[in-house]
Amino acid sequence: MKIGFIGLGIMGKPMSINLLKAGYELTVYDINKTSVDEVVAAGAASTNTSAKVAEQSDIIITMLPNSPHVKNAVMGESGVLEGAKSGSILIDMSSIAPIASQEIEKACAEKGVHMIDAPVSGGEPKAVDGTLSIMVGGNKEIYEQVRDILLCMGASAVYCGTIGAGNTTKLANQVVVALNIAACAEAFTLAKKAGVDPESVFNAIKGGLAGSTVMNAKVPMMMENNFKPGFKIDLHIKDLNNALDTAHEVGAPLPLTSQVMEMFQTLHADHCGGDDHSALAKYYAKISGTVIGD
How large is the angle between the packed helices 33-41 and 12-21, nearest 10 degrees? 20
Based on the residue annotation, tell me whether 170 is a catalytic residue of this protein: yes
- Number of Cβ within a 10 Å radius of residue 238: 18
Give which of 39, 11, 20 is closest to 95, Cα–Cα: 11
Beta 59-62 vs 89-92: how paired, if at all? parallel
CA distances from residue 14 to 21, 115, 183, 281 in whole angstroms, order as listed = 10, 22, 30, 28
Across the strands, what pairs with 132?
154
Q: Which contiguous run of DSSP H or E holds residue 245? A: helix 233-250
Distance CA 11, CA 230 (A): 9
User: Of 13, 52, 126, 170, which residue is the catalytic one?
Assistant: 170
Give which of 140, 292, 112 is closest to 202, Cα–Cα: 292
Distance CA 61, CA 3 (A): 7
Through-space distance between the first and last CA atoms of the chain, rounded to whole angstroms: 51
Determine the residue type at 143: Y
**Which residues are known to be catalytic?**
170
